[in-house]
Structure 1
Amino acid sequence: MNILTEKFSTPYHSAPFNQIKNEDYLPAFKELIEKSEEEINEIVNNSEEATFENTIEALAFSGEQIDVASNIFFNLNSAETSDELQKIAQEVSPILTEYSSKISQNEALFNKIKKVYDEKEKYNLNEEQQMLLNETYKGFVRSGALLNEEDKEKLKKINMDLSLKSLQFGQNVLASTNNYFKHITNKADLAGIPDAILEQYAEEAKERNLEGWVVTLQYPSYIPFMTYAENRDLRKEIALANGKKSFDNGEFDNQNLIKDLLNLKQQKAELLGYATYADYVLEERMAKSPTKVIDFLNELLTKAKPYAEKEIEELKSLAKADGIDEMQGYDHAFYAEKLRKAKYNLNDEELKPYFPLEQVQEAVFRLSKQLFGLSFQERNDIPKYHEDMKVYEVFEVFDSAQTDNQEPSTNNQQPTTNYKALLYVDYFPRKGKRAGAWMTSYKSQYKKDGENSRPHISIVCNFSKPTKDTPSLLTFQEVTTLFHEFGHALHGMLANTQYPNLSGTSVKWDFVELPSQFLENFCYEPEFLKTFAKHYKTGEVLPDEKIEKIEQSKNFMEGYQTLRQIGFGLLDMNYHTKVGELENLSVKEFEDNYTKATQLYPANPETAMSPSFSHIFQGGYSAGYYSYKWAEVLDADAFQYFKETGIFNPETAAKYKILLSSGGTKDPMELYKNFRGSEPKVESLLKRAFG
């Protein structure tokens, strides 16, 4: 028996991580693909006339088992990978790509979909059903359903190549990250680094059976070193190593892969009738066109650059006092921290004792209860893939007289609870885990046969591990990271739609960051911050003057950070609209050309960020990186509304909850206007960022 092909006999049919063996994956995928294809054949071979129910709806609910198995496998390949798992991924990816292409290019199936689509006026479809029909039809057309047989085969091969090469890109970045470490034996070389970080470096050395300290390129190790290390030569060495990730012409170099990936995407776009891959992608975004995105980014660039240049001048004067005539990129974090401390008398290490991970998590749980009526209860009987993880059962608490979208009452009536979701949290770095932080799901929410089947959501981060003497203490930036990912998780957990492919975060990509970035705003609100920013030893609340400084420092280096994000967005958009230029340019030359306007430090000929730009070459942000700034406009405008009505106002929260629970059932601008009463204004972002 293969555990992945059976109905899971775990609580809530959760992923049976403790029973899955690596050798289960390949045969399971093959068997589940067969099962899914049988479901498709049932739709195609149904002798009755094609209808919304027997075609569109049946297709929406097909393939659930293969989706769950894929979610388990690829999430583990990101969070708990191994050489064996990566090898399986290379075998599994083309099989799944071929399966996906087979469905999207099934002519008989598409003919049935097209018939329903062409005759949609005769069906009495509600708004969500109309959206499902439109998205299904469009999805098939965008996957090549209208192509001739020869072009369908070309597209199938392109998709398979893209799948394998993007997988290889990510594996190269991970290997390149893990391959480097700096072993330090002289404590003087670590001057300026706080004791808690030194303890972390010592633990890393011990794990490698080395004396002294070890710094790696994992973010919880790399960022503090660049922020606090007084040894400029070592800062330079480690920054160069970071900037050379997959850019060293060695075994894990990604430069040729970038060109291959971009050429394949351009071929795909042209085959489907689009001028560029960006045109293909943006047809399905709020922004709609590359021109609109580039205009949006350039407008922000024009407004933000003077602020950014002023910020860098302040840093340069600090560096000059230390005898540095020409500041470099690897000096930025160090002098930014010095300036932040001078301006606001704040540094991460002073704040960290007030932000133990468990307290921060408890705060976001409480906020979720206050705004949306959610409660969280740890479960120890649900399987996990690593001992560091925790799993929570999520409930919605409400009075029996309430509807789904009302908030809990404050009267003495006994509340009732509904099971809402499972939440997995995986917070600490490991060699088998890719860098960064992300939210994902193991199972989607949907309604079928009278049952509201609830989602299984996961948050993965890379925070410093607790040591024997100290709990995991977060920098303030890590606090906002946890809130960010939890915002995504709320989008998943509150999902309340009919169909799995319109549920939770299944929304336009430039809308998906709204819930995550919105939640970060609460971290800067004094009345909320005081409820959880408490010293892990003494219980002392973070002093008012420090809270005031956090609030004041919210926009510290905002110009620089804005330009950095604009640079990534412009680079991404130009990669996906001007791929032909790469025939005569190296990746490094192309990158320098299109980030030049946003660069505030001299370019280093030895480094490039594109070869480790996983968001666009491995993740789902190809021609979509701009969406972070786009969503900032949305989140600034949305939080402005909360501030106008009261940040815990139950009526405002109830309206926002409807936006979250609606997933992709409506056009995102319509959802936003229903919540806010008007379209978002870019002025809200500029006001928040620059006053």
Structure 2
Amino acid sequence: MSEAMLADWNGPLGGLPPLDAIAPDRFVQVFQSAIDDCEREIDGIADNPEPPDHANTLAALGQCGRALRRLRALFNVAADTMADAQVSAAAPTVLAMLAAHDDRIGQHVGLHDRLAMLAGQDAQPANDIVQARRRARLLERTLQDFHMSGASLGATEKARLIAIGEEMATCHAGFRRILVEDEGDLLPLAPSERAGLPAGLADRPLPCTRATIEPILTQHPDRAVRERAWRLFAARGDRAPDRCTLPLAATLLRLRAERARLLGFASHADLTTSNRMAARPETALALLDRLWPAARDKADRELDALAALARQDGIDRLAPWDVAFYRERDRQHRLGAGESALSRYLTLDGLRDGLFWLAERLFGLRFTVLPDAPAHHPDVSAYRVERAGAPIGALYLDPFARTGKTGGAWVQPLRQPERGHDLPIAMIVHNIARPQEGAPAHLRLWDAVTLFHEFGHALHLLLGDVEDHRQSAFHVPWDFVELPSTMFENWLTQPDMLAAFARDPATGRAMPDELAETLGLAVAKSGIETAEYLAAAIIDLRLHMRADPPADLRAFEDEARAALGMPDALRPLHPLAAFRHLFAGGEPTYSAGYYVYIWAELMSADVVAAFAEAPGALLDRPTAERLEHCLLSVGDADPPDAAFRAFRGRDPSPDALLRARGLPVQSA
């Protein structure tokens, strides 16, 4: 089995990942072998007696460690979607090994010196001006990564930086493990209480996942049941002293602050934003602060309306476990349809086919099933992606929540595109509630929006046309990476797509026009949603802008909410103890960067406005072709601000974002 995890991938499309050959008990051994091979390749580049040039240094570095990259993809699938005891046992060691390896490469003196020599030379030969510019950007970004890894530090500081990376990796794995365990805890209900459960949940265990808890909060008529469900979910990561993530989060904050100081930055937020479009944390915070007052005011008005509905039921004060329930009642009152009426027409099969249809209309892509693709679970399906008869990559879909699978949704890049070498492979991972055997999977509104969001990420990867995999979609600055995903959420309400693919599976009837209109109103961002998100992003930035982390994270979170004037009924969207974006991923992820969603939405709203201005609106093919050429295909080969200007002819305007969020547009 270990040989299978290290071997070249076989099959169509340049090889498919052997997901059925993952052997968690062999991870440590095979990773050590792959790391050793990669480091020998690195040493060979650094020791090359020939003068450095693009081919023998920068391009050669990109080709190093191909087996290690493949193995990392398999490990990420295992750690996030099949976390049994063996995976959990191996993960801390593997993550520490990888962190140490990344640090050794990033601090490799010979390799750094060779790259610096290359940067000091005249422009390298290239086929054209564009290729030369993009190669120069790759070299500049690579040297920047070396700086962030401590390549310019002394021996003592380098050793400390490596130790910090290893300790961080252990903390990430521990944080993730506790959340997975907590999300496996079951909500206890008496038989009489089960009668109020939404369809599909009444006769099954109720794990503490978003896919289970949110329908209960939205639909269960018993307030006591909603309160128990909310408290169980809100306590993830902080349920018991021996199963608490906060000590791990505190350690990560301390280590991040120390690392930032070693690298010459005032704070972790200064370090992370230095490599992003925002450039400084104050710039990102200024955008959030500009939006916050209007978002809070809108949320207050919406909560007042919900409180009035709750008073009709004898509830004097709206609580966090009431908000979703009365928002659903308010939606039914205002829009004439609730979550269940919409969900009837939003099936997984229908929306998947609708997404494939949209990708063909916009970008000429065709998706066909790969029936024999190896998979790690029966739920997983795979699709060949082609254009004009030529393959461009593969897409996997892992849609349902299950034990051992991390909550939420994301795209796992199984293979990055590289012109002349590799076709991209993306996996969309979701956590939709599993339907009854033989029944269609009906998606809640949030699930449907999320599916479209993740498909935007997948398209960004699949449409990549870059010379080097290090310039593909998932290597763009992190406050640009969410542009394609937030943008594609808008296609959920596209009328032609709904008419063809949003159908009641029992009758075959298409979603009625009035319900389609309701769907459009329902997916519009409310003040409550905007305030919840902005508060989480502001707390994240302020936490990581501190030179010294707070001693008490619970107190810090409460004080930050109070300073914002956060309404009591709105508890944290992501409590720090369960904030996996900040504490359960690699370094850096969304730490000091949860703001990236709104930063990217600033641009994506302007992209959608460009479609709206075109003759074909959201299905306008020329606009889609320009979008692919300027933004989606280039990855990080061009600076994102220049790429956006190439598409739109100007910098993004905040007006489209304000309108999309239902906030007042400020006059110039």
TM-score tier by shorter-chain length is over 0.9
- SS of the residue corresponding to residue 548 of structure 2 reads helix
Query: Which stretch of structure 1 is more off in the superposition, 655-664 or 363-372?
Result: 655-664
Query: Which stretch of structure 1 is more off in the superposition, 518-527 or 128-137?
Result: 518-527
What's the counterpart of residue 133 of structure 1? 139
1:328 CA displacement = 0.9
What's the counterpart of residue 225 of structure 2? 234
What are the Cα deviations for residues 238-285 of structure 1, in whole angstroms up to 9, with x where unaligned?
211111111134322011111100000000000000000000000111
Asked if residue 428 in structure 1 is aligned to residue 403 in structure 2, the reply is no
1:604 CA displacement = 7.6
What's the counterpart of residue 541 of structure 2? 573
Instruction: Give 1:145's match in structure 2, choosing from 123, 147, 151.
Output: 151
What's the counterpart of residue 59 of structure 1? 61
- Asked if structure 1 preserves the Cα contact closer than 8 Å seen for 2:602 and 2:656, the reply is yes
- Asked if structure 2 preserves the Cα contact closer than 8 Å seen for 1:445 and 1:453, the reply is yes
Percent identity at matched positions? 28
Distance in 1 of aligned mates of 2:124 and 2:317:
71
Asked if residue 173 in structure 1 is aligned to residue 179 in structure 2, the reply is yes
What's the counterpart of residue 410 of structure 1? none
What's the counterpart of residue 115 of structure 2? 113
Equivalent positions of 1:154-303 (< 5 A) are 154-178=160-184, 180-187=185-192, 189-190=193-194, 192-194=196-198, 196-197=199-200, 200-204=201-205, 215-303=206-294
Distance in 2 of aligned mates of 1:599 and 1:529:
37
Paired amino acid for 1:431:
T
Distance in 2 of aligned mates of 1:302 and 1:182:
37
From the superposition, tell whether residues 497 and 581 of structure 1 become closer, same or farther in structure 2 (CA, over 3 Å).
closer
What are the Cα deviations for residues 542-592 of structure 1, in whole angstroms up to 9, with x where unaligned?
111111222233336x11111111111011101111262513xx2111011
Asked if residue 610 in structure 1 is aligned to residue 576 in structure 2, the reply is yes
What's the counterpart of residue 625 of structure 1? 594
Paired amino acid for 1:84:
Q
Paired amino acid for 2:621:
P
Distance in 2 of aligned mates of 1:82 and 1:110:
39
- SS of the residue corresponding to residue 582 of structure 1 reads coil
Distance in 2 of aligned mates of 1:295 and 1:481:
27
What are the Cα deviations for residues 400-455 of structure 1, in whole angstroms up to 9, with x where unaligned?
xxxxxxxxxxxxxxxxx1101111100011111010110011111112xxx25201
Query: Which stretch of structure 1 is more off in the superposition, 375-384 or 112-121?
Result: 112-121
What are the Cα deviations for residues 496-553 of structure 1, in whole angstroms up to 9, with x where unaligned?
1000110122211111111011111011233332221111111111111111222233
What's the counterpart of residue 600 of structure 1? 567
- SS of the residue corresponding to residue 286 of structure 1 reads coil
- SS of the residue corresponding to residue 490 of structure 1 reads helix
Instruction: Give 2:416's match in structure 1, choosing from 441, 444, 448.
Output: 444
**Any unmatched runs of 5+ in structure 1?**
205-214, 398-416
From the superposition, tell whether residues 120 and 218 of structure 1 become closer, same or farther in structure 2 (CA, over 3 Å).
farther
Paired amino acid for 1:566:
L
Paired amino acid for 1:438:
W
- SS of the residue corresponding to residue 188 of structure 2 reads strand
Distance in 1 of aligned mates of 2:251 and 2:233:
23
Paired amino acid for 2:279:
K
What's the counterpart of residue 24 of structure 1? 26
**Any unmatched runs of 5+ in structure 2?**
664-668
Asked if residue 464 in structure 1 is aligned to residue 433 in structure 2, the reply is yes
Instruction: Give 2:365's match in structure 1, choosing from 355, 361, 374.
Output: 374
- SS of the residue corresponding to residue 387 of structure 1 reads coil
1:674 CA displacement = 0.8
From the superposition, tell whether residues 531 and 5 of structure 1 become closer, same or farther in structure 2 (CA, over 3 Å).
same
Asked if residue 587 in structure 1 is aligned to residue 553 in structure 2, the reply is yes
User: What's the TM-score once normalised by structure 1's chain length?
Assistant: 0.91
Distance in 1 of aligned mates of 2:480 and 2:124:
32
Distance in 2 of aligned mates of 1:63 and 1:501:
13
Distance in 1 of aligned mates of 2:574 and 2:425:
37
Distance in 2 of aligned mates of 1:239 and 1:217:
9
What's the counterpart of residue 643 of structure 1? 612
What are the Cα deviations for residues 449-468 of structure 1, in whole angstroms up to 9, with x where unaligned?
xx252011100001121213
- SS of the residue corresponding to residue 558 of structure 2 reads helix
Distance in 1 of aligned mates of 2:278 and 2:22:
42
- Asked if structure 2 preserves the Cα contact closer than 8 Å seen for 1:10 and 1:16, the reply is no
From the superposition, tell whether residues 592 and 107 of structure 1 become closer, same or farther in structure 2 (CA, over 3 Å).
same
From the superposition, tell whether residues 577 and 460 of structure 1 become closer, same or farther in structure 2 (CA, over 3 Å).
same
Distance in 1 of aligned mates of 2:628 and 2:123:
32
What are the Cα deviations for residues 264-321 of structure 1, in whole angstroms up to 9, with x where unaligned?
0000000000000000000111111111111110100022222111111100111111
Distance in 2 of aligned mates of 1:120 and 1:331:
65
- Asked if structure 2 preserves the Cα contact closer than 8 Å seen for 1:337 and 1:347, the reply is yes
Equivalent positions of 1:648-687 (< 5 A) are 648-658=619-629, 659-687=631-659
Aligned residues between the structures: 650
Distance in 2 of aligned mates of 1:468 and 1:24:
34
Distance in 1 of aligned mates of 2:94 and 2:386:
36
1:598 CA displacement = 5.4
From the superposition, tell whether residues 598 and 115 of structure 1 become closer, same or farther in structure 2 (CA, over 3 Å).
farther
What's the counterpart of residue 346 of structure 1? 337
From the superposition, tell whether residues 532 and 509 of structure 1 become closer, same or farther in structure 2 (CA, over 3 Å).
same
- Asked if structure 2 preserves the Cα contact closer than 8 Å seen for 1:261 and 1:617, the reply is yes
Paired amino acid for 1:298:
D
From the superposition, tell whether residues 73 and 581 of structure 1 become closer, same or farther in structure 2 (CA, over 3 Å).
closer
What's the counterpart of residue 74 of structure 1? 76
- Asked if structure 2 preserves the Cα contact closer than 8 Å seen for 1:535 and 1:542, the reply is yes
What's the counterpart of residue 88 of structure 1? 90
Instruction: Give 1:499's match in structure 2, choosing from 468, 473, 487.
Output: 468
Paired amino acid for 2:446:
Q
- Asked if structure 2 preserves the Cα contact closer than 8 Å seen for 1:191 and 1:230, the reply is no
What's the counterpart of residue 16 of structure 2? 14
- Asked if structure 1 preserves the Cα contact closer than 8 Å seen for 2:535 and 2:561, the reply is yes
Query: Which stretch of structure 1 is more off in the superposition, 332-341 or 120-129?
Result: 120-129
From the superposition, tell whether residues 241 and 579 of structure 1 become closer, same or farther in structure 2 (CA, over 3 Å).
farther
Distance in 1 of aligned mates of 2:574 and 2:10:
48
Pairwise CA RMSD: 1.8
User: What's the TM-score once normalised by structure 2's chain length?
Assistant: 0.94
What's the counterpart of residue 510 of structure 2? 541
Paired amino acid for 2:363:
F
1:476 CA displacement = 2.3
Paired amino acid for 2:650:
S
Distance in 1 of aligned mates of 2:30 and 2:212:
38
Distance in 2 of aligned mates of 1:494 and 1:522:
18
Distance in 2 of aligned mates of 1:422 and 1:507:
21
